[in-house]
Homo-oligomer: A and B are copies of this chain.
Amino acid sequence: MISKKIKGFFYGADYNPDQWNKEIWKEDIRQMKVHGVNVVTLPVFSWAKIQKSEDEFDFSWLDEIIDLLYENGIYVNLATPTAAQPAWMSKKYPDITKTDMYGRKYKHGGRTNFCPNSPNYRRLSKKIAKEMAENYKDHPAIVLWHINNEYGEYCYCENCRKNFIKWLKEKYDTLENLNKCWYTSFWGHTIYDWDEIEVPSALTEILPGRLGGRDGTNFQSMAIDYRRFMSNSILECFLGEAEEIRKITPHIPITTNIWGICDKLDLFKWGEECDVASWDNYPSSKDHPSLISFRHDVVRALKGGKPFLLMEQTPSQQNWQPYNEQKRPGVMRLLSYQCISHGSDGIMFFQWRQSAGACEKYHTALVPHVGHENTRIGRELTQLGEELKGLEDKIIDSKIESKIGIIMDWSNWWAVEYSSGPSIDMTYIDRIMKYYKPLYDLNIPVDIVNPNMDLSKYDMVIAPLLYMVEDKAINNIKSFVEDGGTFITTFFSGIVDENDHVRLGAYPGAFRDLLGIWVEEVDALYPEMKNGIVVEKELNMGKDVYDCNLICEVVHSQGAKVLGRFAHDYYKGYGAITENSYGKGKAIYVATEPEEGFIRELMKKYCDENKIKPILKTSEEIEVTKRIKDNKEYIFILNHSKKPQQIDLEVKKYKELLKNQVLKGIINIEPKDVFILEEY
């Protein structure tokens, strides 16, 4: 339960009452009740309104609206407004606005336009957080703190440079150590004095757009350190506010809404500092549903599987996509249940009332420009609100159980995508999705895991492209296999240590004995090229030869069993898939990127071996997930397709909670519809 005050799902939206007059506030309350809204987030962007100058704080208007909400049974997710400092502040304290990678100092404008190492920003953001906490510490409406908004902008100014050096001193202690870890013997980059260190930017070591549009760098270790430092600097901003708040309202949980699965911040570290994980889900209408599921699973992982909160989604239309489709009828509901089925205990929207001006005015809201609720979208929102009320006893606080962990790691993400060679197409999330999606298709639940976590609860752990891996994580993974686990990893894994130094000796460095192989060469294929995997008969797969591409490695077995071999080119006959016994477990290596069908068969094989079963067997266009509470299982069935689909419930009989019907045998589900089944 996110807050004891709200027993059911959080259902509400970002609310910007300062854009509207008080007559409209009343109408807002009326419509909130129509939709069953029980919580709103505010005042996300009202710093300038609250603090007109350094010494003037005015909470009166905020008091008034919060009281009004509370009187009407609506709680408040209280936001600190620090994502956009007032114009007077940018003017008075020029250290606040950020400097970009090209050395361009920004002036006031936009949002998240602050340097995370600006002393004045740090001081003033703590001050406003403290003032708010003091002001609202006793207000019964407050159920959650929402610090800042969608953190994630880097800065490259002189204050950042100074703090970077300080951070480096703490991390490396001596310049000798720093020079070694940064490999500065390359290109004669030895640092003899801490002050010689520059931040890696387009004016020093960053090569913008060099890698298929992503930034390259001359010194990966330096560039990755800067990301670690920046993630940490921004986290310090969060913590600065959180500390002030926790002193005053230790009983109220704190969150910050994550933007997508942000590559700028090491979210596992952020998860440790938040009380509740929450995020903003803005998929493109072209994103495959499995990608959205993956993102939910990442967010759920941040607090170790505890229910999270969907902080923002759009009721229908976004405004910043190139082409902003309306969500088709049923899609908003479908995506909301997808979110809940992956562990959210709330559905919140951006925003309550659609703005009349500025750049987000064509982002749909719960109250559209027409001003009333008698619209298609309005009706869908009312229905969802009602449905959620009926589910709260069963679903709230339920958990998701999985026997499979998929490893994700931010330092690895940065390292992979800064790598100069072998291929610019070697992006990280796409590689994870190659393994996530087949399991999604099979309706087998997975957890996203950090490589240093306790893995013993899993039967299988999959680590796509785990290129950078610390000793500690290596040992963790080895113990998991020794104890009987099944570990699957891919090409170019285990290659470097946390400093992005190659683990010399032989590829795949860290995992060589675990996998029982030696990789002699790593070949990169042009996008139009492919190779094939000739499957050994014992695998008993659907086809004899599967396509593969991206990377093909020349693998020598040194104990591992070869399950598939390359079909072409000078490494024809060399192992493409190997399996090695290690302790009581197995370690499987996939030395290329096979087509989806192959990976699906491979997942089936090892799930079978580990007795991991699908929740239900369905067509791939149906998503099935499960939440569990008090030993009761709630099966979510989501039809993402445009066609009605049939599902075989086999021998069991279920109660369907949304339509309150009993189901058994072969059932039909309409396009975009959702079933929630409880065994009957």
Also in contact, A91 and B196, with CB within 8 A (given A219-B358, A520-B375): yes
> What B residues does A201 contact at CB under 8 A?
107
Q: In the complex, are the beta carbons of B323 and A527 less than 8 A apart?
A: yes
Instruction: Place the interface of chain A in its size category.
Output: 35 or more
Nearest CB of B to A673, in Å: 15
Residues in B neighbouring A106, C-beta threshold 8 A: 203-204
Give residues of chain A (485-526) contacting chain B, Cβ–Cβ below 8 Å. 499-502, 504-507, 518, 520-526
Minimal beta-carbon separation of A618 from chain B (angstroms):
25
Say whether A322 contacts B87, CB under 8 Å: no
Cα distance A389–B112 when bound, in Å?
65
| Contact between chains at A203 and B105 (CB < 8 Å) | yes
Say whether B358 contacts A183, CB under 8 Å.
yes
- Answer yes or no: A188 CB below 8 A from chain B CBs: yes
A505 touches B87 (CB 8 A): no
Q: Beyond A189-B84, A323-B526, A358-B186, is A198–B109 a contact (Cβ under 8 Å)?
A: yes
Are the CB atoms of B376 and A520 closer together than 8 Å? Answer: yes
Q: Which residues of B contact A425 (CB under 8 A)?
A: 323
Say if the beta carbon of A597 comes within 8 Å of chain B. Answer: no
Contact B318 A421 (CB under 8 A): yes
Contact check, A104 vs B203: say whether CB atoms are below 8 A apart.
Answer: yes
* Majority secondary structure of chain A interface residues (helix, strand, loop or mixed): loop
B contact residues around A420 at 8 Å (CB)? 319-320, 359-360, 362
Distance A423 CA – B16 CA, assembled complex (angstroms): 25
Q: Which residues of B contact A520 (CB under 8 A)?
A: 370, 375-376
Q: Given A104-B203, A356-B501, A570-B329 in contact, is the A424-B323 Cβ separation under 8 Å?
A: yes
Complex alpha-carbon distance, A507 and B16, angstroms? 22
Closest to A106 in B: B203
- Please report the C-alpha to C-alpha distance between residue A249 and residue B362 in the assembled complex, in whole angstroms: 52
Q: How far is the CB of A426 from chain B (nearest CB, A)?
A: 10
| Interchain CB contact (< 8 A) of A357 among B205, B221, B358, B424 | B221
Instruction: Flag whether A81 is at the interface (Cβ < 8 A).
Output: yes
**CB proximity of A219 to chain B, nearest CB, Å:** 5
Q: In the complex, what residues of B have CB within 8 A of residue A198's CB?
A: 107-109
Q: Which of A355-382 contact B (CB under 8 A)?
A: 355-363, 369-371, 375-377
A423: chain B residues at CB < 8 Å are 322-324
Task: Specify which chain B residues have a CB less than 8 angstroms from the CB of A369 in the assembled complex.
Answer: 502, 504-507
Tell me the minimal C-beta distance from A2 to chain B in angstroms: 26
With beta carbons under 8 angstroms apart, the residue of B48, B111, B319, B321 that contacts A190 is B48
Q: Which residues, 369 to 409 on A, are CB-close (under 8 Å) to B?
A: 369-371, 375-377
Cα–Cα distance between A84 and B184 once the two chains are bound (Å): 12
Q: Which residue of chain B is the closest to A200 with respect to CB atoms?
A: B109
Q: A217 to chain B: which residues have CB within 8 Å?
A: 359
A359→B223 CA distance, assembly (Å): 11
Interface presence of A644 (CB below 8 A): no
Is A216's beta carbon under 8 Å from chain B?
yes
Chain B residues, CB < 8 A from A321: 421
Q: How far is the CA of A87 from the CA of B190 in the complex (A)?
A: 7
CA distance A408 to B320 in the complex (A): 26
Q: Are A212 and B370 in contact (CB under 8 A)?
A: no
A287 within 8 A of B: no
B203, B329, B525, B527: the one contacting A109 at CB < 8 Å is B203
For residue A555, give the distance in angstroms from its CB to the closest CB of chain B.
Answer: 13
Q: Which of A187, A325, A369, A504 has the largest count of B CB atoms less than 10 A from its CB?
A: A187
- A293 adjacent to chain B (CB < 8 Å): no
Question: Which residue of the partner chain B has the closest CB to A81?
Answer: B188
A328 within 8 A of B: yes
Q: Which residues of B contact A610 (CB under 8 A)?
A: none
List chain B residues, Cβ under 8 A from A362. 419-422, 522
Q: Are B110 and A218 in contact (CB under 8 A)?
A: yes
Question: A177-210 interface mask toward B, CB cutoff 8 Å, 1 = contact, 0 = none?
Answer: 0000011111111111101111011111100000
Minimal beta-carbon separation of A48 from chain B (angstroms):
4
Pair B193/A88 contact, Cβ less than 8 Å: yes
- Report chain B residues within 8 Å CB of A105: 103, 203
Determine whether the beta carbon of B502 is less than 8 Å from that of A357: yes
Instruction: Tell me how far the C-beta of A222 lies from the nearest C-beta in chain B, rounded to whole angstroms.
Output: 9
Task: Return 30 A-B CB contacts under 8 Å, by A number.
Answer: A18-B185, A19-B186, A45-B187, A46-B188, A49-B188, A86-B190, A88-B196, A90-B196, A105-B203, A107-B201, A108-B204, A109-B203, A110-B187, A186-B358, A186-B359, A186-B360, A212-B322, A218-B358, A221-B358, A316-B521, A317-B522, A319-B421, A323-B525, A323-B527, A324-B422, A328-B569, A357-B502, A360-B420, A362-B421, A370-B520
- 16 new A-B contacts, CB < 8 A, other than A108-B204, A219-B358, are A16-B185, A19-B186, A49-B185, A86-B188, A90-B196, A103-B105, A216-B359, A218-B359, A219-B359, A220-B358, A317-B422, A319-B420, A323-B423, A357-B502, A369-B506, A376-B521
Give 7 nearest A-B pairs by CB, closest first. A183-B357, A109-B204, A319-B421, A362-B421, A186-B358, A87-B196, A48-B188
A-side interface residues toward B, CB under 8 Å? 16, 18-19, 45-49, 52-53, 81, 84-88, 90-91, 102-111, 182-193, 195-198, 200-205, 212, 216-221, 286, 316-326, 328-329, 354-363, 369-371, 375-377, 419-425, 499-502, 504-507, 518, 520-527, 554, 569-570
